């Protein structure tokens, strides 16, 4: 698959016995490096002020001199960390450096934050910020932290977070530390991005993580997800939960199930991602009565297609051949890269064995966004001798942009917004293209339709400004106007 966007990973920890939490934050982020490789960072409270380390690229391995130094210098009992893939803000090296997180905001009263998501009412928030001085970064995190800080003046954390939840439209799963040494975490009222928490076997260290794999790697117990509109605080006084906004619905990003989350993660109060993906594969098989006659072998694009391929194999009995393998140390995710980088990464990342010579194959892949990745994969499969290539996508057809943190900003870049299955097959060089139905997809997640964000699949967004922007963009696109990227951020 081939997306790009700000699907970041966050992690925070608090130890009630006063022991250092850095090792736990480090490993929590290592397990979530798939959520962002543009930059990483850590922050903690040190002698009344915030200390932070941020850098570009993937998190280095534990024996790397930088990490060894961090293990020696980060000794606090409360800490947060972040891995970033940029969708908001600019992506030149200069701005990537400026936009790294965690982000320290404020002068006298300070707060440090890290977040996963994307804000929609950016123009309004940026205008507010400009009235008080120039922004330091191009990322949404500055807007969010300034809003929080503004609320903290003369008030408490609960009211400040309430101000964010009511004054900001968009997706935000946040971890942060106050100068009083509290660890806090909150999630937008629709709970668009994942966030869960858990604790150590001795019940002394609490951790909050984008995905449950961040808890698993530390051998922490999964407790629950942070509810949409909920704030959690850990401090010397203990742990506290506040449901600040109780919305009428939730709108969890459905793309997490198909692509972003690790297969061994639990989402939405304990739903196993790989079980859901297996069901996607069973659905694809059930929805195509011709499948068994059409193909000799099932092939998956690793790793997000693997579980679905297993499900398809279970239903049909067609052999599942692991003919496409990843080069283990080419780690960049194709979707979260620029288009030029993407082409190079796909070529280097996937290797196809010769076992496909003369065979008709069903290729199970998570999604198709722009089509360049699929085209490249198909070319490799043809070179390996595949006779017929039938593409099966677990994520239904993407028709509309995303405004909540996945890098699909315009209608024009989405192959599914302007082309049907037959045309797409021709454009990418496949013999046929099949999507899982929307109904099948929703059923497999075990969620109700109104509990998921399906904006990019249906053009119906869970927040009003995103809907308005999408409608205006569609109108302009259909009238032939050239799209300008992330219009809602352009001033």
Q: Greatest CA separation found in the chain?
A: 72
Reported residue count of the chain is 491
Q: Are 431 and 389 in contact (CB under 8 A)?
A: yes
Q: Which is nearer to ligand SF4, 21 or 470 (CB)?
A: 470
Nearest approach, Cβ of residue 393 and ligand SF4 (Å)? 14
Instruction: Please name the residue that has the structure tokens 């990483």.
Output: 40
Task: For 78-123, give the secondary structure using H, E and C.
Answer: EEEEEEECCCCCCCCHHHHHHCCCCEEECCCCCEEEEEEEEECCHH
Q: Is 371 left (phi over 0), alpha (psi -120 to 50) or beta?
A: left
CB of 455: closest distance to ligand SF4 in angstroms?
3
Q: Which is nearer to ligand SF4, 32 or 463 (CB)?
A: 463
Shortest CB 205 distance to ligand SF4, Å: 31
Cα→Cα distances 211→8, 208, 274, Å = 11, 9, 13
CB of 298 to ligand SF4, least distance (A): 26
By C-beta, is 236 or 460 nearer to ligand SF4? Answer: 460
Active-site annotation holds for 402: no
DSSP notation for 34-50: GG--SEEEEEEEETTEE
- Across the beta sheet with 297-300, the strand order is 297-300, 360-365, 388-393, 432-435
Which is the catalytic residue, given 8, 164, 196, 453? Answer: 8
Q: Which is nearer to ligand SF4, 266 or 457 (CB)?
A: 457
Q: Encode 121-182 in three state secondary structure.
A: CHHHHHHHHHHCCCCCCCCHHHHHHHHHHHHHCCCCHHHHHHHHHHHCCEEEEEEEEECCCC
Nearer to ligand SF4, 191 or 311 (CB): 191
CB of 104 to ligand SF4, least distance (A): 28
Chain residues binding ligand SF4 by CB under 6 A are 192, 253-255, 402, 404, 406, 453-456
Least distance CB 401 / ligand SF4 (angstroms) = 8
CA-to-CA distance for 106 and 104, rounded, in angstroms? Answer: 7
User: Cis ω on the peptide bond leading into residue 303 (within 30° of 0)?
Assistant: yes
- Please, which residues have CB within 8 angstroms of residue 72's CB and are 6 or more apart in sequence? none
Our CB check for ligand SF4 shows the closer of 185 and 453 to be: 453
Active site residues: 8
């Amino acid at each position: 698959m081939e997306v790009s966007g700000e699907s970041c990973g966050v992690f925070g920890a608090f130890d009630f016995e006063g022991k250092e939490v850095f090792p736990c934050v480090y490993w929590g982020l290592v397990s979530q490096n798939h959520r962002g490789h543009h930059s990483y960072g850590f922050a903690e409270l040190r002698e009344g002020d915030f200390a932070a380390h941020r850098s570009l690229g993937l998190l280095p391995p534990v024996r790397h001199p930088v990490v060894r130094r961090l293990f020696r210098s980060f000794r606090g009992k409360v800490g947060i960390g972040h891995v970033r893939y940029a969708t908001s803000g600019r992506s030149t090296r200069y701005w990537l450096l400026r936009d790294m997180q965690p982000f320290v905001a404020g002068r006298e009263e300070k707060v440090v934050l890290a977040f996963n998501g994307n804000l929609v009412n950016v123009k309004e928030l940026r205008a507010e910020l400009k009235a008080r001085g120039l922004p330091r970064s191009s990322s949404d995190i500055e807007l969010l932290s300034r809003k929080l800080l503004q609320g903290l003046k003369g008030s408490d954390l609960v009211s400040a977070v309430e101000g964010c939840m009511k004054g900001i439209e968009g997706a935000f799963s946040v971890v942060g530390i106050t100068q009083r040494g509290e660890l806090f975490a909150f999630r937008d009222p629709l709970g668009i991005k994942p966030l869960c928490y858990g604790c150590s076997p001795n019940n002394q260290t609490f951790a909050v993580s984008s995905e449950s794999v961040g808890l698993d790697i530390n051998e922490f117990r999964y407790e629950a997800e942070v509810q949409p509109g909920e704030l959690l605080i850990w401090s010397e006084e203990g742990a506290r939960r506040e449901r600040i906004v109780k919305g009428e619905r939730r709108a969890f990003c459905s793309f997490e199930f198909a692509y972003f989350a690790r297969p061994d993660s639990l989402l939405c109060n304990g739903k196993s991602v790989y079980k859901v993906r297996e069901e996607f594969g069973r659905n694809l098989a059930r929805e195509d009565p011709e499948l068994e006659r059409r193909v000799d072998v099932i092939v998956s694009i690793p790793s997000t297609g693997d579980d679905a391929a297993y499900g398809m194999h279970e239903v049909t009995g067609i052999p599942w051949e692991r003919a496409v393998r990843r080069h283990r140390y080419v780690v960049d995710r194709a979707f979260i890269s620029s288009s030029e980088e993407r082409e190079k990464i796909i070529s280097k990342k996937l290797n196809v064995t010769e076992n496909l010579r003369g065979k008709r194959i069903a290729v199970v892949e998570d999604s198709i966004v722009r089509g360049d990745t699929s085209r490249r994969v198909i070319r490799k499969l043809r070179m390996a001798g595949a006779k017929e290539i039938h593409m099966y996508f677990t994520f239904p057809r993407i028709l509309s942009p995303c405004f909540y943190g996945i890098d699909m900003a315009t209608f024009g870049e989405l192959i599914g917004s302007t082309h049907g299955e037959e045309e797409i097959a021709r454009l990418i060089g496949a013999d046929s293209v099949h999507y899982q139905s929307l109904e099948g997809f929703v059923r497999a997640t075990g969620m109700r339709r109104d509990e998921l964000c399906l904006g990019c699949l249906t053009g119906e967004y869970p927040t009003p400004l995103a809907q308005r922007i999408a409608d205006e963009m569609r109108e302009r696109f259909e009238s032939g106007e050239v799209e300008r990227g992330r219009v809602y951020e352009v001033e």
